[in-house]
Amino acid sequence: MPRPRQRSQKGGSVEPVSNLERSGLLRKALKDNGFCRIIEVHSPAAAIIAERSRGSNREFDGFWSSSLTDSALRGLPDTELLDPRSRIEWATATVALTKKPLIIDGDTGGRCEHFAFSVRHMEREGLSAVIIEDKAGEKRNSLLSGDDLHTMAGVDAFAEKIAVGKAAQASDGFMVIARLEGLITGLPREEILARAAAYVAAGADGLVVHSRSSDENLVIGLARELRVRHPDTPLVAIPTAYPGTGEDELIRAGINLVIYANQMFRASLLAMESVAQSILDNGRALEAEPHCLATHDLLHLTEGLHESRGPEFARVL
């Protein structure tokens, strides 16, 4: 049976929340709001910071567990070296400390029978969705360019994987989302659209329009066509390669969910480089302090989870 989590409420009282309820949070948020803003978190602490962040009447609606950042955090290349179970366990630690849904990067999903097991595992642990990409062969990150670096999976085989994953679910809440890699590999648009139709027919709960080009019009144009053909299917954008494109423009193109897929981890690496260099250059830590969270706030980071600390803490973070 799914283990209950605890939902914090004002005043310190708690009520149990089942993992199956947690697994439906993203679907509910999309239904209620029509648009969700998701950010990568590479640790439970990063999720706590992201969950508390506010700005210009915006907040993050959930979290992304990236195979790229999970691998890089361990000093490994993004080639599916990590055991899916270890990645799910890491994501579970984040889910246990936050109230918002988490989407996990499932790479290619592996073999069908393995994907069915993974879906059941994710759902039991309270994750809300998995995104799998329609590529095959040796896993290479889609942002890498190069001839023959990326190979598309067969349409029927990938559609079957989606169907197997959906059949493995214990409830309707969890989402299996298909990532269209056709813009990455240079497929003709009609072929990408045909693949999308096959995946939706197989039960895909959403489609990622993915691109490594800095020209956002490739994503926007494809998203508009997909919106016409699949009016009820959530569309996802990951604007790593085109960061200047605003959410409003993506929403007008039919996008329902935006994933900021690696910015938190990249920022942490840059900060660590700066601090390490500053200590070496100065032979002391004083000059590095402006780049560091105050020790007092670090000590109190995890106290009073899910409760606002007010504007003073928000400014520090």
Side-chain-facing half-sphere of 71: CA atoms under 13 Å: 18
Contact 178, 158 (CB under 8 A): yes
Residue from 32, 61, 70, 78 carrying the catalytic annotation: 78
Tokens 């149990």 belong to 16
| The amino acid at 108 | T
Query: Under 8 Å CB-to-CB from 132, ≥6 apart: which residues?
Result: 106, 107, 108, 109, 115, 161, 162, 165, 176, 177, 178, 179
Burial 213-249 (b: 16+ CB within 10 A, else e): eeebebbbebbbbbbeebeebbbbbbbbbbeebeeee
Report the DSSP pairing between strands 36-40 and 14-18: unpaired
**Count of helix runs (H) and strand runs (E) in the chain:** 14, 12
Could you confirm whether 205 is annotated as catalytic?
no
- Count of residues in the chain: 317
Query: Under 8 Å CB-to-CB from 63, ≥6 apart: which residues?
Result: 38, 39, 40, 41, 47, 50, 94, 98, 100, 101, 102, 103
Catalytic residues: 78
